[in-house]
Structure 1
């Protein structure tokens, strides 16, 4: 896959829009997961497009085409930071949800718990759980080794299970941030 990506990047650097479209198709799920680790789901769609628009404009400055996946992930991380710099506030999740449901059963709460994990685990977990990517696909997209992805997924899932275990959810996400 690395050689294919490199060829597409080089073609896109020469102005080939179809090649860049192929890069978009291949890497948009990774970019979405990187963004989802940092911003609300409803914001990720527009931000994915902004990331690729910025990448298209900056592509001529990319010196090493093989570095494209990591370079693109960095653009996505920076785009998420810029999103919050524009004075948009992240909505705090309530400690209890309407209807008396257990917070651990709510998707927003689970996403908040994933976001509270260390960054290395957040992105790989979201690529796996939300985007449905396999370990080898995550490794290919991120440039991490298969072993690193496996370890990140394993440790991240363990930490997430601990956060969502019965009894641990009563403290809520704000208590997680204070510790």
Structure 2
């Protein structure tokens, strides 16, 4: 899945395209210590205004952020909110004291942005995503997504990272800050619960 930071919604300093720079699903994460060192260096560069460094952060974390937002808001609103999350992260990254916490930090920004969006949208009339006459495959996809959205947060986010974004278990752990064991448990229990709920709707 390709995610591109839209150039018409960002200041000139953030004008770049990050597509094609995400790690392949089958790649293994680098040594934890060296990985954290590289992340710290990247974050320092971003704080100093290095847009190439920010492009790398975007490429590395966009799928996780997309999954978190997708689990909370209508599909049509997701891409715009993902852009907002990264713009917020760019303007506030200097506040981050512990670079190792970047994954959890930007995940929290994503959750808060999605929550704010839903709160602001409460008084608006929301159209269903699976309107009559649409693509039946797309309608089925949205129906499954609605079931996933009702799962506990830990299961929901991990499942969307794996099933929608194509992230490996190791990559989910590396990006989110969860332990590999926690990711495995979330995926196993989440899939079990998803199958049960989908089976109950048939």
What's the TM-score, normalizing by structure 1?
0.84
Matched, 1:142 2:176: yes
Matched, 1:119 2:119: no
Contact 1:2–1:140 (CA under 8 A) maintained in structure 2: no
Contact 2:75–2:129 (CA under 8 A) maintained in structure 1: no
Aligned to 1:30: 64
1:55-87, Cα deviation, whole Å (9 max, x unpaired): 111111111111111000000000101111212
Determine which of 85, 88, 97 is the counterpart of 1:51. 85
C-alpha separation in 1, matches of 2:165 and 2:121: 28
3-state SS of paired residue (2:171): helix
C-alpha separation in 2, matches of 1:169 and 1:98: 21
Aligned to 1:151: 185
Residue 161 to residue 65, structure 1, CA distance change in 2 (3 Å): same
The structure richer in helix per residue is 1
Contact 1:125–1:153 (CA under 8 A) maintained in structure 2: yes
C-alpha separation in 2, matches of 1:158 and 1:4: 36
Aligned to 1:169: 201
C-alpha separation in 1, matches of 2:106 and 2:81: 13
Provide the aligned C-alpha RMSD in A.
Answer: 2.2
C-alpha separation in 2, matches of 1:11 and 1:4: 11
Ranges in structure 1 where 5+ consecutive residues have no aligned partner = 171-179
C-alpha separation in 2, matches of 1:67 and 1:110: 32
How many correspondences in the alignment?
164
C-alpha separation in 1, matches of 2:91 and 2:73: 23
3-state SS of paired residue (2:121): coil
Matched, 1:77 2:92: no
Contact 2:158–2:172 (CA under 8 A) maintained in structure 1: yes
Deviation at residue 93 of structure 1 after TM alignment: 7.2
